[in-house]
A and B are shown apart, each in its own frame.
Chain A
Amino acid sequence: MGRSGGGDDIEGWNRALCSGRVVAFCPNNHEVHIYKFFGEKWERIHVLQKHDQIVSGIDWSIKTNKIVTVSHDRNSYVWNQEASEWVPTLVILRLNRAALCVQWSPKENKFAVGSGAKTVCICYYEQENNWWVSKLIRKKHNSSVTSVAWHPNNQIAQLDLSFTWAFGVRWSPSGNTLAYAVVAFCPNNHEVHIYKFFGEKWERIHVLQKHDQIVSGIDWSIKTNKIVTVSHDRNSYVWNQEASEWVPTLVILRLNRAALCVQWSPKENKFAVGSGAKTVCICYYEQENNWWVSKLIRKKHNSSVTSVAWHPNNILLATTSTDGKCRVFSTFIKGVDSRDSGLNFFPWKGSGSGASGDVKFGEQIAQLDLSFTWAFGVRWSPSGNTLAYAGHNSMIYFIEDVGSSPKAQNVALRDLPLCDILFVSEKMVIGVGFDCNPMIFTSDETGLWSFVKFLDERKIEPSSSKYGSQLSEALGKLYGQSKGANSDTVESSRLRGGAHENCISCIIPLRKPGESVVRRFSTSGLDGKVVIWELDNSIGIPQ
């Protein structure tokens, strides 16, 4: 959790958050300060001075009440509280470069140190010698180790990008293959930031500024390497990379309300925009005029369109809207789509019923009326056979065989509603939302969908005193986080310790081209975090 580097003087908040009224942090020098909350204000009660250079990592064990610090001076200290004093014990890490990060293991009998020496140290206490031993994991990393995480309950990396919302994260084509090279996201303002991973840390390499208002949607095409953004300013830009610069092209959507979401079609020759104007725009490129044209699907929705999803056949588009309905449209555009491409989806529109022009642009193929409240996050399964979307009444809906004989299933959730959905395979879905914890759903042999488990197995600690909530409230204010000042003690203990601390608004696959099963994906949410997850082998993915 602690961020390293930078001149930020509140760096290194750590798990001491959980230990009550005291917090330790490194003010970007060789000291560690411990502050205590005295009912009214925070007072410095200790200064731990032992390191010679900048303290780069700190972690406070919960059960054993030990603080471990690592520093650029290549050493580590374990601090033990003895009669109100913090007594340091030197841990010789045997590094030849700076230590960068540290974390106690869940059992607190070991801690791990990441370093600039391309090495990870695992340190443990040897009773006989009264000594902390450092064992090295060498020659596995090709560069500095920037973060370590114990007991990786599937979670392999975490990136603390900002304290504002990060919604609409998209990974670049190369990011989808091997390393997490580049990520673009909208930090809840009119900009789009592109970050690149430089072996050691994430650096911002581009800021796309063109929109006047909040960027509400973003999508990065895989094959053509184009970024499309839509905004509350009712316009859209298609960004093309020309000689390391991103060049925008305005797309006039012809909307009178904000655009809300955007997605490239599978062939990447069209994109769809959902809007607050009860309208969906289908945009395509006209070669002759060097111009993006926007065709509207009007008068079909009774409220804002919250999500759009392309069927793999590049013709059908599913939408969800705040009138509670999920609809499927044809987006056949003459001269852009070939005539036979979408036809296999309509068995009742065989050769007998006239020309293939039957699937006219904007024709509504289906309307699913399952939810009585706002609907969100519609997605097709990889084959396009199953459709799933979430209702704001804590339900998730699965519709199988949409084309021929639709069979709908409702799964009621025990907890808070979902915002977005990802099909990991034909039979497995991950849902994210207001519970701040991704949920896994699977379909059994009979085709029955059910909730399996939460992905992030966080520890739920009952908050014994009122201090916990007061502290987190105070910290929430400090951070400017929207944790909900009124959240009661139950709520704060629920949220603690997970990868996300606020509503997750977006889930994106990190898929290698041609891969049918998604094992890696990223989530982002209102806490400003982007988290990369990897499904380990303990979670069998039904194909």
Chain B
Amino acid sequence: MAEGFVDDENLEAIVTRIEQKSRKIESLLKHPNVDPPDGRSKPVEALKTALEGSILKTRDERCKSANWIVVHRAIMAIKDVDAMLSYLDPEYYDILMKYLYRGLATGDRPTCDQCLKIHEKLTEKAGLGCILRSLADTVNTV
């Protein structure tokens, strides 16, 4: 185990955080008529919420799976990829790319369709360096 990773007793806290995140995303996706104050679209806000703090300081696979389900929900809710990328801040590009590869690894048809669609646009925007960073990082996996 690498240093800096949290102990098992903190797993509870991580799970609680994921649950909170999930509720927030669900409410954002369920009430599309109420716009957020800054006028950004709902699915993008949901995706940002999902990506925030999602480098889990744990190697517990159950936590990662639970987190992935939340992010997956947000990714699948994206309809307009171009608009999403123009709203999403560059600091989220690398982490989003990691989740796209996780999505492609599932082999699930609709998930792969969606991930490939985003992957193409994201690579256009963020370059090959983004792919390299997400693939080369074997420590902070998602």
Contacts and interface: CB of A to CB of B under 8 A. Distances in A.
User: Real complex partners, A and B?
Assistant: yes
Interface of A: 372-373, 391-395, 412-417
Given A393-B133, A394-B132, A415 B127 contact: yes
B138 interface: yes
Contacts of B133: 393-395, 412
B128 interface: yes
A448 to B, nearest CB: 16
Contact of A372 (B129, B130, B136): B136
Contacts of A395: 129, 133
Contacts of A373: 136-138
B126 interface: yes
A237 B34 CA distance: 74
B94 A415 contact: no
Closest 5 CB pairs between A and B? Answer: A394-B129, A414-B127, A393-B136, A373-B136, A394-B132
A133 B116 CA distance: 57
A393 B129 CA distance: 7
A413 B129 contact: yes
B132 A393 contact: yes
Contacts of A392: 132, 136
A373 B137 CA distance: 7
A305 B140 CA distance: 24
Given A415-B129, A416-B128, 16 more contacts: A373-B136, A373-B138, A393-B132, A393-B133, A394-B130, A394-B136, A395-B133, A412-B129, A412-B133, A413-B127, A413-B129, A414-B126, A414-B127, A414-B128, A414-B129, A416-B132
B111 to A, nearest CB: 25
Given A392-B132, A393-B133, A372 B140 contact: yes
A415 B133 CA distance: 10
B1 interface: no
A394 B128 contact: yes
Contacts of A416: 128-129, 132
A413 B140 CA distance: 19
B137 A372 contact: yes
A372 B128 contact: no
A414 B90 CA distance: 11
Nearest to A373: B136
Contacts of A394: 128-130, 132-133, 136
Contacts of A414: 126-130
Interface residues of B, number: 13
Interface of B: 94, 126-130, 132-133, 136-140
A412 B130 CA distance: 8
Q: Most chain-B Cβ atoms within 10 A of its Cβ — which of A393, A395, A416?
A: A393
Nearest to B129: A394
B94 A412 contact: yes
Q: Most chain-A Cβ atoms within 10 A of its Cβ — which of B128, B132, B139, B140?
A: B132
Contacts of B130: 394, 412, 414
A516 B140 CA distance: 41
A320 to B, nearest CB: 15
A160 B127 CA distance: 31
Given A393-B133, A412-B133, A372 B127 contact: no
A395 B133 CA distance: 8
A412 B133 CA distance: 9
Contacts of B132: 392-394, 416-417
Given A395-B133, A413-B129, A414-B129, A372 B94 contact: no
A414 B128 CA distance: 6
A413 B94 CA distance: 11
Contacts of B129: 394-395, 412-417
A521 to B, nearest CB: 24
A417 B129 CA distance: 7
Contacts of A415: 127-129
A530 B138 CA distance: 35
B40 to A, nearest CB: 24
B131 to A, nearest CB: 8
B122 to A, nearest CB: 12
Nearest to A392: B136
A372 B126 contact: no
A413 B127 CA distance: 8
A325 to B, nearest CB: 13
A409 to B, nearest CB: 15
A393 B137 contact: yes
Contacts of B137: 372-373, 393
A157 to B, nearest CB: 30
A393 B134 CA distance: 8
Contacts of B127: 413-415
Nearest to A413: B129
A437 to B, nearest CB: 13
13 contacts: A372-B137, A372-B139, A373-B137, A391-B136, A393-B132, A393-B136, A394-B132, A395-B129, A395-B133, A412-B129, A412-B133, A414-B126, A416-B129
Contacts of B136: 372-373, 391-394
B94 to A, nearest CB: 7
Nearest to B90: A412
Nearest to A395: B133
Nearest to B134: A393
